[in-house]
Structure 1
Amino acid sequence: MPLQLSIATEDDIPQITKFQFAAFHPENRMHRLIYPSPLPVPDSIISSTIQRTLKAWREDKEHITWVIIKDTDTKVKDLFGDGKEKDRVIAAAKWIIWPPGETLKEGETRWPDKIDAAWVKKSDDPEKPNFGNGAADDKEYVEWVMEEFFERRRERIVGPAVLLDVCCTDPEYHRRGAGKMLVRWGTGKADELGVKAFVEASPEGRRLYESCGFMMVEDVVLRGGKVNKKWEEYGEPDWGFMVREKRGKN
């Protein structure tokens, strides 16, 4: 079963989106806030998430690179794409790269200080509510979580850098080295440029990132009940803010 790393095209996003939900939903609290969905995840949510992902990519192709791992021995029909038979994509990473020498234009910012969580809607089917103790239906709560998330990026990811924004593997292919291949692609790019690398790690991913040279900066746990009493039962979104110091170029 040869695994092959390559740069993704837009045609790969439908396959990526499907196993992204399989990898993260509903266990990962941040994922179910950003991509609220009932269980099982309906085709309508997969399709709308594909469009969200493509929109974000098209708006910043200068900085965003999607990298994928394929199982070249396995062919699949991509039911959310063009329906043609293709190599199976089994893992993917979204790297955002800001090279040395690049400066922000006047009024431009990498990270917003205010979020409009327009994607947060109640489930279309009252018999199948969004998963997550109501939190995925609460726009105000999701905006607070996302503003806390981006505040840390604004404070820490400045100047030249690379950021691992998304990294996921099809659950059928866990522990076969695909994730490490994707992370090493990005750390190699960081070393080539001589810049720091960053990642917001899920608890499950921290060991992988540590093995690739990342160190914990902050173990983030958001306790909404301390901010707003009605958020007390919404769980505690958590992640590890990690950095890999610059290597390579002086």
Structure 2
Amino acid sequence: MPLTLSPCTPPDAPAFTTCFLATYTLQPRHITTYASTPYAAQHAHYLAAFAAGIESQSHPTATLESHYLKVTDDVTGEWVAYAIWQYLPKGYVAEEDRFTEVKEEGEEGGMPEGVNGAMMKDFAGMTRRLRGTHPKHERRGAAGMLIRWAFPFADQGSKPCYVDGSSVGYALYKRCGFTVDVGEVSVNLDKYGDQGFGVHRWVAMMREPVEKPEVEQSAGEGDGIGGPS
């Protein structure tokens, strides 16, 4: 069945939240972070966060350009996958961006009750770029669609793309063109809980912009700008 990739709008926040939690609630880092947090509290927290993010992605005073994306099934209308791409301008400082501030538990918009605060403070930045596929829709090509969405914009501006590849996603990112490994983060999850998940690793990966060759124009063919063949 065909799939469609499209930008998210404010009414998509509930479905975005549901698809995100279906993807992440079984992952070790999420379990470690929210082991003491009821599902309802997680849902309420992320619903508020995603609703604010989708609303602010076109806000004129936002310093961080965000793009919330979804992939849906053309026949059933079901959500298949989602992603958030973010553009960090030169000199961007996350701590100065009020749209990405990580607030304390108890504050309006803050973390839900029971969250593993040490885990969130040490690795808060890792929550700001997301991509996931609903478990029932894996291996349909949605992940590749979402990853490659950013490439035309990056190439046009001669900008590199960055991702953090887990052991599961590393091979996929390689196939999509993230061929440069620029660093690695190792996290011993047992430091933050007693679930026995051990050490998990993420590789920071980069895709270099692809320069498109200019199309030469033969004499007598007019003065328009040549497009790609």
Matched, 1:94 2:94: no
1:220 to 158, 163, 185: 185
Please list, as runs of the form range in 1=range in 2, the aligned pairs for 1:24-63 lying within 5 A after superposition: 24-29=24-29, 31-32=30-31, 36=34, 42-61=39-58, 63=65
TM-score, scaled to structure 1: 0.66
Q: 1:45 to 1:37 in 2, by over 3 A?
A: farther
The TM-score with structure 2 as length reference comes to: 0.71
Moved more, 7-16 or 234-243: 234-243
Q: Which amino acid aligns with 1:61?
A: S
Q: What is the identity, as a one-letter code, of the residue corresponding to 2:75?
A: D
Confirm or deny that 1:111 pairs with 2:111.
Answer: no
What amino acid sits opposite 1:239 in the alignment? W
For 1:204, give the aligned amino acid. V
CA distance in 1 between counterparts of 2:47 and 2:87 reads 22
> What amino acid maps onto 1:248 in structure 2?
E
1:181 to 129, 145, 149: 145
Question: Residues 165 and 115 (structure 1 numbering): CA distance in 2 closer, same or farther, change over 3 Å?
Answer: closer
1:22 equivalent in structure 2: 22
**Contact kept in structure 2, 1:5 and 1:68, CA below 8 Å:** yes
Question: Cα 1:188–1:121, aligned 2, differ >3 Å: closer, same or farther?
Answer: same
Give the residue type in structure 2 aligned to 1:208.
L
Deviating 4+ runs (over 6 angstroms): none
Residue 56 of structure 1 deviates from its aligned partner by: 3.2
State which structure, 1 or 2, has the greater radius of gyration over its C-alpha atoms: 2
Question: Partner of 2:4 in structure 1?
Answer: 4
Do 2:19 and 2:79's aligned partners in 1 also have CA atoms closer than 8 Å? no
Q: 1:46-86 CA distances to partner (integer Å, 9 max, x unpaired)?
A: 23311112223434435111121110100xxxxxxxxxxxx
Equivalences for 1:148-167 in 2 at 5 Å? 165-167=129-131
Let me know the Cα RMSD of the aligned residues. Answer: 3.2
Task: Say which of 139, 146, 171 aligns to 1:207.
Answer: 171
With over 3 angstroms needed to count, the CA separation of the structure-2 counterparts of 1:233 and 1:197, relative to structure 1, is: same
**Aligned-pair distance for 1:231?**
4.7
For residues 145 and 211 of structure 1, do their structure 2 counterparts lie closer, same or farther at Cα, with a shift above 3 Å needed?
A: same
- Asked if the contact 1:223–1:232 (Cα under 8 Å) also holds between the matched residues in 2, the reply is no
**Does residue 240 in structure 1 map to residue 196 in structure 2?**
no
Are the equivalent residues in 1 in contact too, given 2:73–2:80 (CA < 8 A)?
yes
Deviation at 1:110, TM superposition (A): 3.0
Secondary structure at the counterpart of residue 165 of structure 1 = coil
List per-residue Cα deviations over 1:166-196 (Å, max 9, x = no partner). 1111111101101001111112221122110
SS in 2 for 1:176: coil
Unaligned runs of 5+ in 1: 75-86, 123-136, 151-163
Deviation track 1:97-137 (CA, whole Å, cap 9, x = no partner) reads: 25xxx665xxxx43239965531522xxxxxxxxxxxxxx4
Q: Paired residue for 2:160, among 180, 196, 207?
A: 196
Percent identity at matched positions? 23
Name the SS of the counterpart of 1:190 in structure 2: helix
